[in-house]
Structure 1
């Protein structure tokens, strides 16, 4: 009973994942075999059963983390693409010869804008 409580407090304190449970079970199994605690007919199946349960869960958790990471990368790349496209969009009328074709300045003659109804509009050739 005391061993179970010690294991529970250890697991709670260190916030073990399934990988951690597997390592804990292997450690307990090693200690039981090393110090000849309990019959091997009980300790070996318990350790193998725990490994058989924890290992696939750990693999699944690793796969799940990888999927989340890929989704985060895709979202970040989409944000970066949107930012680059916003920077590449030029202000002003591209058909005007005075247009600066820049995302920062509208044109050389009337930088404040607006382009609609500008008396200096000159079609681009």
Structure 2
């Protein structure tokens, strides 16, 4: 979770965060699970209705409808997967505090991308 290379340490940190903040981390995922279940239930009902319309005298619209339901479910799953990743990122940013790294250019002046001049010590007078 803090850019370390150990998968074991990252897993332990994640487990600790889930134990400390279960509601803040799992609430968005549970809501997305509910939305996904509703979409899947609607698609199952629609598929059942379309399969009932299939028969020897049916047109190609029923087959096209079944195909469209499958494509629509695939699109919905892709959208929910992206929303799940986004929710995880936002929840992690909310719970995990960033690393405190010292700013190496705090005691210097200069424009972005250009040379930096230290303002403490003798080098400042020499650089002027």
Normalized against structure 1, the TM-score is what? Answer: 0.36
Q: Which has the higher contact order (CA 8 A, sep 6+)?
A: 2
